[in-house]
Chains A and B, each alone.
Chain A
Amino acid sequence: MPYHKAEIEAVKSRTLLSSLIGGVVRLKKSGRSTFTGLCPFHAEKTPSFKCDDATGLYHCFGCGVSGDHIDFLRQYLGLSFDEAIERLGGRRPVTQAEERRIMEQRERLDEDRKAKELSDREKALKVWDAGKQLHGTDAVRYFKARAIEHALDFGLPGLRFVPSLAYYGYKGEDAEDLEVLGHFPAIVGKIQLADGTLIGVHRTYLKPDCTAKAELPVPKRNKPRKILGTLDGGFIQLTHGHDQAYAIGEGWETTVSWGLLERAYEYGLIAGVTLGNIAGKPLAWEEHPTIPERRVPSLDPGDIGPLIELPRGTRTIALLGDGDSDPAFTHAQLILAGKRFSRIGLDVYVDMAAPGKDWNDVVRGV
């Protein structure tokens, strides 16, 4: 018998998502109902995995994995849907009253989420609108410090400079609420869809003199690079015009660095923000070849195309890989991405930075 939505919700409501996930990775409380930790699906040094007991959802900003209780059990332990339900205590009849209550709660959460997304997107748009063209601003100093000042010649339509942008972060190790930690100059990247719609912004907060990234308190929790809004399927455009060939890297810095290094002017440059966004969601996760308790995406793309919709007319895509992340994870993600771009008929190439380096390290000769 098929499950009713309310039945599934009732099953999930018996177990806190944080206790389920907390059984395999160490989570740290980061808000009233939210927890952060090292992502159980990919190898990382700083936590980008978040789960929320209120919404019953988890999300990793690093690899893009997301879902609920059942998704977690299916992805992490490879259980079937039925097995996952069993693991959560099994099916139990739900009274009509319970059903109504659960569904109302669910709807409320969905609405909250949608409202938050909408408001985040509006906030993102405001940030973007407040930005100025990079030329002639203090942002040039940052470009110089990173040895990429010539990248300004690319046009960088998807990047702007905001002289003073509030940073919301955590004041201390155990702070649960976000607070304004200060105002910093920031380089803002417009995360857009192929049609130009803004879906989020990527912010790189800088030191007041713009010579380096901002130094923030509790660096483990407060990163100088943040995303506002959503990024799924979006990208940051770094060159003007419609190109038949695009090179896509993770961050904008590494991507423009590759552009300077390779002088491959036939390639338009875009940044996919995260590797997970470039690869799209994996169908399944597999054991990490060398790190126990970590997962790598399965290399099977299924019949799913890429998450990112490239500008119309694109024929060739070069995937730029950084060598400074976990090699097994990076390679698996790039293979997944490559298979998906191949599926829609693109010629796919890959360029990996030397082990231990991203493309900006290569430019700077680090």
Chain B
Amino acid sequence: MIPFSDFVASSRKIVKPFKTNFDAIDFDSLADARLDERWLVDGVIPNGSFCILYGPPGTGKSFLVLDLAVAIATGGTWFGRRTEPCGVIMGSFEGKGGLIKRIRAYVQEKRPPTGIPLMALRRPVNLLTGTDDANRLIDECRSLGEAMTLKPGLLVLDTFARVMPGGNENSSEHVGLVIERVDLLQKALGVTVLAVHHTGKDGARGARGSSLILGAADTMIELGRDETRLISVKVKKQKDEADEGAFAFRLKRVVLETMPDGREVSSCVVTESDEVERNRAQRRAALRGPAKIAYQCLQQAILDHGQVLSEAIAPRGMKGVAGAKWRESCRRGGLLMIEKDQDEAEFDRLFKKMAQQLRAQSWIGIKDTWVWDARAGS
């Protein structure tokens, strides 16, 4: 029971709500609003976002996208990150023959379950001229969604250039129109749109074309390749987040068939790698603060409890410990001084953050529940 004056105050929103055409929201409601932080891929791709994956030719963009798509469609992990299982519609508009080979290689190598909610569109959509194609695509995604076991959550456009036929990537007018329609798709379907994009000739300048592309994306995933053909994946931009991470993979060649003349038909699959990208390693600064403590605590834990990890987990002969041992070591090593048990959550937050940071910077390797020192011996 509340005094009448309080009732009047609390009824204001119900009896005389303000009218808005632009989804206005007051401070209190914002403060009370549930945090709707959901990720398609933890810490990398937010739900319902616009994401651009770009890199120079030969960085395995389409392979990586397929790897990502299957991980999401099966709800598996992707580079150790949890994914939200949902349907995937993959617009594979470049190199149709390539798609079949990529999928064949993937199936042969990784043996995904059958019947996963993943569909490929093979005829390009035109998002530049009018909204007809966008609307057709919306209708189609909806009806394809009904044919899938999970509601579509990811729409891949491979590539961005292919959905603007006749358009000029450098024209902010053209790019602006396409982005407007991407927005339309996103809103109507509630999906994340991931567009694959080529890096310009000057790789250092980032994605090709109008800077509008960069401005519109919530997340940019940049691929780069070093001289050993190790491909690095850097999450460059999270509109609302500062969480930037990096990981790496190699493309493994898979022979699909051998022709009578001995020629091999092959494709590639993505294999995760905990290797350190070379030039990055050289640039890497010394650790400081809690990251240094956490790293040292790991070294101590390995010294105390380390065991040789199986080759399926870490490079041959690598010693590592269970994550829990490392955590214990961090607790004793003073990563965060806590007094009460309530602060456990606080500690775990920091611990998790440090683990991600150290891993992203390739100081450590993590797989399943195991942790090792990626720089041991180097």
Contact = CB atoms under 8 A, between A and B. Distances in A.
Contacts of B22: none
A350 interface: yes
Contacts of A264: 1
Contacts of A57: none
B14 A331 contact: yes
B332 to A, nearest CB: 48
Interface string A313-347: 00000110000000110011011001000100000
B100 interface: no
B17 A349 contact: no
Interface string B269-297: 00000000000000000000000000000
A351 interface: yes
Most interface-central of B2, B4, B14, B17 (chain A CB within 10 A): B4
A332 B7 CA distance: 11
A327 B7 CA distance: 13
B24 interface: no
B71 to A, nearest CB: 40
A333 to B, nearest CB: 10
A27 interface: no
Contacts of B1: 262, 264, 318, 349-351
B4 A331 contact: no
A299 B4 contact: no
A331 B8 CA distance: 8
A296 interface: yes
Nearest to B1: A351
B11 interface: yes
B17 A290 contact: yes
Contact of A338 (B7, B14, B17): B7
B15 A338 contact: no
Nearest to A337: B4
A115 B17 CA distance: 45
Interface string B1-38: 11110011001001111000000000000000000000
Contact of A348 (B4, B11, B14): B4
A240 to B, nearest CB: 22
A292 interface: no
Contacts of A296: 15
Contact of B3 (A328, A335, A349): A349
A289 B16 contact: yes
B3 A327 contact: no
* Chain B contact patch, size range: 10 to 19
Interface residues of A, number: 21
A335 B14 CA distance: 12
Contacts of B15: 289, 296, 299, 328, 331-332, 335
Contacts of B14: 289, 327-328, 331
Contacts of B7: 334-335, 338, 349-350, 352
Contacts of A332: 11, 15
Most interface-central of B2, B11, B15 (chain A CB within 10 A): B15
A290 B16 CA distance: 10
B2 to A, nearest CB: 6
Contacts of B4: 319, 338, 342, 348-350
Contacts of B17: 289-290
A342 B8 CA distance: 12
Contacts of A328: 14-15
Contacts of A350: 1-4, 7
A290 B3 CA distance: 26
Contacts of A348: 3-4
Nearest to B11: A331
Nearest to A341: B4
Most interface-central of B14, B16, B17 (chain A CB within 10 A): B14
A75 B3 CA distance: 30
B8 A349 contact: no
Nearest to A320: B1
B2 A349 contact: yes
A289 B8 CA distance: 16
A290 B4 CA distance: 24
Interface in B196-237: none
B376 to A, nearest CB: 59
A335 B16 contact: no
A338 B8 contact: yes
Contacts of A289: 14-17
B10 to A, nearest CB: 9
Nearest to A318: B1
Nearest to A258: B1
A327 B14 CA distance: 7
A349 B7 CA distance: 8
B8 A351 contact: no
Interface string B118-130: 0000000000000
A184 to B, nearest CB: 36
A10 B15 CA distance: 39
A338 B3 CA distance: 10
A334 B14 CA distance: 12
A254 to B, nearest CB: 15
A262 B14 CA distance: 25
A289 B1 CA distance: 25
A356 B235 CA distance: 45
Contacts of B11: 331-332, 334-335
Nearest to B12: A331
A290 B18 CA distance: 10
A299 B11 CA distance: 11
B32 to A, nearest CB: 15
A264 B7 CA distance: 19
Given A328-B15, A332-B15, 17 more contacts: A289-B14, A289-B15, A290-B17, A318-B1, A319-B4, A328-B14, A331-B11, A331-B15, A338-B8, A348-B3, A348-B4, A349-B3, A349-B7, A350-B3, A350-B4, A351-B1, A351-B2
9 closest Cβ pairs, A-B complex: A348-B4, A350-B7, A331-B11, A351-B1, A338-B4, A331-B14, A349-B1, A331-B15, A289-B17
21 contacts: A290-B17, A319-B4, A327-B14, A328-B14, A331-B15, A334-B7, A334-B11, A335-B8, A335-B11, A335-B15, A338-B4, A338-B7, A338-B8, A348-B3, A348-B4, A349-B3, A349-B4, A349-B7, A350-B1, A350-B3, A350-B7
